[in-house]
C-alpha cells in the first residue's frame, strides 16, 4: 500500500512541499503519496483527525498552524519545545510525535550548502518571533562567538532570554544600538512578507558577511537589497532551509535522507 503524507496550511496553494517530497520519494525509491491540505481556520485538530482516519502517516505544518500542531502533539522533541511550535507530525497508532526541523534545516543550509561555519562567528538574528525562537537552539549548538538578537520593541526578548539562561554567547540589542559588524546576518522577521526591510543599520554587516533572508522565492528582498548596498558579497534567501527541513522530515518518516542539492537549485530564484 502506498503511504500517505501531507502538508497543511492556509493558504497552501503556493506550497512547494508536494513537489519536494515527491521528488525525494522518486530519488530514494520510496512508495508514497504527498498532498497539500488547506486547513479551515479554527479546525486544525478535526482536520488532522479526518486525514489520519484516511491513513495519513505524517504531516508537515506551515502558517498558521504550527502552534496548533504543538498543542495537538502527544509528545514533542526538544527543538519543538524550544520553538513553541511544531512543523512536522509523525503518527504512530494513537501517538502524534511533534518535531521542529526549521532550525536544523537553517543551520545545515548555512554550513553544508553555503560552506559558512557558525562556530566562532559573530551572528546577528533580526526579530524575536517564532522563526527566531526556532533557530536559536540549533545556532547556539554550533558555538558562535557571539549571537545577538535584534529587537524592535523592548520586552519581547525576555521570553527568548529565559529559554537559554546559560547561553553565554547570547545577547540582545535594539536595532539602533547595533554598533559592531557581524559575519552572518539572518532576517527572521516578517518584514519581507510586507515588502519592507527591518531597520538594521549598514554598520551591522561585516565585510564578507553572509546575509540570509529566511523568506524564499521573493527575489532580491528589501533586506537583501539593504545588505547588498552595505557591501555584503553573499546574499541568499531561505529556499535551502525549506528543502533541508523537508529532508529532515523525510528522514524521520522513511529512514533515508535524500540528496538536497538538485532540489535547491531547482527552486532557487535569481536575486535580481
Question: Which amino acids are annotated as binding site, given as ranges?
Answer: 15-17, 62, 87, 102, 214, 216, 238, 245
Q: Which of 66, 119, 156, 261 is catalytic?
A: 66
List the beta strands (DSSP E) in the chain. Answer: 3-9, 32-38, 56-61, 75-76, 88-92, 95-99, 122-126, 146-151, 170-174, 182-187, 205-213, 234-236
> Which residues have C-beta within 8 Å of that of residue 123, sequence separation ≥ 6?
139, 144, 146, 147, 148, 182, 183, 184, 185, 186
Which residues line the annotated binding site for shikimate?
Answer: 15-17, 62, 87, 102, 216, 245
Which residues line the annotated binding site for NADP(+)?
Answer: 214, 238
Whether 66 is catalytic? yes
Planar angle of CA 240, 261, 253, nearest 5 degrees: 75
Torsion of CA 124, 134, 192, 183, to 10 degrees: 20
Query: Would you please indicate which residues are annotated as catalytic (active-site) residues?
Result: 66
Amino acid at each position: 500500500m502506498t503511504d500517505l503524507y501531507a502538508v497543511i496550511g492556509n493558504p497552501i496553494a503556493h506550497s512547494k512541499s508536494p513537489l519536494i517530497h515527491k521528488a525525494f520519494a522518486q530519488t530514494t525509491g520510496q512508495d508514497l503519496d504527498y498532498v497539500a491540505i488547506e486547513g479551515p481556520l479554527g479546525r486544525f485538530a478535526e482536520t488532522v483527525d479526518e486525514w489520519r482516519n484516511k491513513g495519513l502517516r505524517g504531516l508537515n505544518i506551515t502558517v498558521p498552524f504550527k502552534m496548533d500542531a504543538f498543542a495537538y502533539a502527544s509528545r514533542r522533541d526538544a527543538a519543538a519545545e524550544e520553538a513553541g511550535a511544531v512543523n512536522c507530525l509523525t503518527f504512530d497508532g494513537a501517538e502524534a510525535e511533534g518535531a521542529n526541523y526549521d532550525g536544523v534545516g537553517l543551520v545545515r543550509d548555512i554550513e553544508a550548502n553555503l560552506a559558512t561555519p557558525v562556530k566562532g562567528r559573530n551572528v546577528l538574528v533580526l526579530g524575536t518571533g517564532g522563526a527566531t525562537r526556532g533557530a536559536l537552539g540549533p545556532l547556539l549548538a554550533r558555538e558562535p562567538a557571539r549571537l545577538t538578537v535584534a529587537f524592535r520593541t523592548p520586552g519581547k526578548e525576555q521570553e527568548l532570554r529565559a529559554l537559554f539562561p546559560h547561553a553565554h554567547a547570547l545577547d540582545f540589542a535594539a536595532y539602533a544600538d547595533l554598533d559592531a559588524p557581524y559575519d552572518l546576518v539572518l532576517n527572521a522577521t516578517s518584514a519581507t512578507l510586507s515588502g519592507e526591510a527591518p531597520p538594521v543599520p549598514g554598520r551591522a554587516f561585516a565585510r564578507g558577511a553572509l546575509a540570509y533572508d529566511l523568506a524564499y522565492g521573493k527575489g532580491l528582498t528589501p533586506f537583501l537589497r539593504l545588505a547588498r548596498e552595505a557591501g555584503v558579497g553573499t546574499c541568499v534567501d531561505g529556499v535551502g532551509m525549506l528543502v533541508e527541513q523537508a529532508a529532515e522530515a523525510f528522514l524521520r518518516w522513511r529512514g533515508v535522507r535524500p540528496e538536497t542539492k538538485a532540489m535547491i537549485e531547482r527552486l532557487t530564484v535569481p536575486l535580481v
